[in-house]
Amino acid sequence: MTFEPDLLKMIILFAAALTAGFVDSIAGGGGLITLPALLAVGIPPHMALGTNKLQSSFGSSTAALRYAGSGLLIKEQLIRGVIFTLIGAVTGTVLIQIIPAEFLKKIIPFILTAVFLYTLFSPRLGQSQGEGKMGKTLFYTLAGLTLGFYDGFFGPGTGSLWTIAMMSFLGFDMKAATANTKITNFTSNFVALIVFALGGKILVLPGLLMAVGQVAGAWIGSHLVITKGTRFVRIFFLTVVALTILRLFHQEYFGG
């Protein structure tokens, strides 16, 4: 099956990318908007996955650059997080070629449900900078390997998991956690993009059109995080995680 672009399909893909870039820059989960859109316009699954990584890399890089100049990045040991995320993502992206992802697909909705409930019933979590429960060196090593692997292997909810981990173990407030998450998230996105590009599984025209939407959405969303308080980010985060959970449960257990 080949993809034949037309104006309506391009409008749908651009609108999906614009929305996803906005959502992803604040709370993660943008892939749950763009991937279904790519499949809906008739792009084969393997090409949809590669094209999705192309356009999402533009969104995550835009958010990362926007946050880089905001003063929210806590750079101590962040480079370690990038390195170990890179290692984890390479491992995950290679293994997904030979190991079924069915187990992860079934358990991740439950993991995200735990994240949602933990955040919902911890009203002070992320409201202000707190004491870290783990050293940055150990945290970025472990989180980089595990979450980088997860993003390369499967992906949905990675940004949300990074955010909650940074708040819980490093004591970051929600704005700082959201900003720092985008650096590590871009790393694993870019690794997957390279793998898909080497395999020839990217459609350039729809990918670049969606990239424009991603850049615009990511800039708007990251600007709101920088200018608004943590309450806004918390509400948006909980909403997106809840919708992600519902979408994944519907896909995996009800055939949606």
Does 10 score more than 90 pLDDT?
Answer: yes
Q: Write down the pLDDT at residue 71.
A: 77
> Mind listing the pLDDT tens digit for each residue in 16-27?
999 989 988 887
141: pLDDT strictly greater than 80:
yes
pLDDT at 130: 64
In a domain, 2, yes or no: no
Q: What's the CA gap between 26 and 186, in Å, rounded?
A: 14
Residue 21 domain flag: yes
- pLDDT for residue 14: 96
Give pLDDT, residue 1: 52
Q: Establish if 118 belongs to a structural domain.
A: yes
In the chain, which ranges are continuous DSSP H helix? 7-27, 31-40, 45-68, 78-95, 102-120, 136-153, 158-170, 174-198, 204-227, 230-253
Which whole number is the average pLDDT over 48-66? 88
Does position 126 have pLDDT exceeding 60, yes or no? no
How many structural domains does the chain have?
1
Confidence band for 219, pLDDT divided at 50, 70 and 90: very high
Residue 1 lies in a domain: no
Inside any domain, residue 145: yes
Does the residue 211 lie in any domain?
yes
Nearest to 15 by CA among 218, 213, 222: 213
| Residue 227 burial class via C-beta count within 10 angstroms: exposed 0-12, middle 13-18, buried 19 and up | exposed
Segment 154-209, tens digit of pLDDT: 676 788 788 888 988 988 888 888 888 888 888 888 888 888 888 888 899 999 99
Residue 162 sits in which domain range? 7-253
Q: Model confidence over 72-92: pLDDT tens digits?
A: 787 777 888 899 999 998 888
DSSP string for 163-177: HHHHHHHH---HHHH
177-193 as b/e: b if 16+ CB within 10 A: bbbbbbbbbbbbbbbbb
Looking at the domain assignment, is residue 247 inside a domain?
A: yes
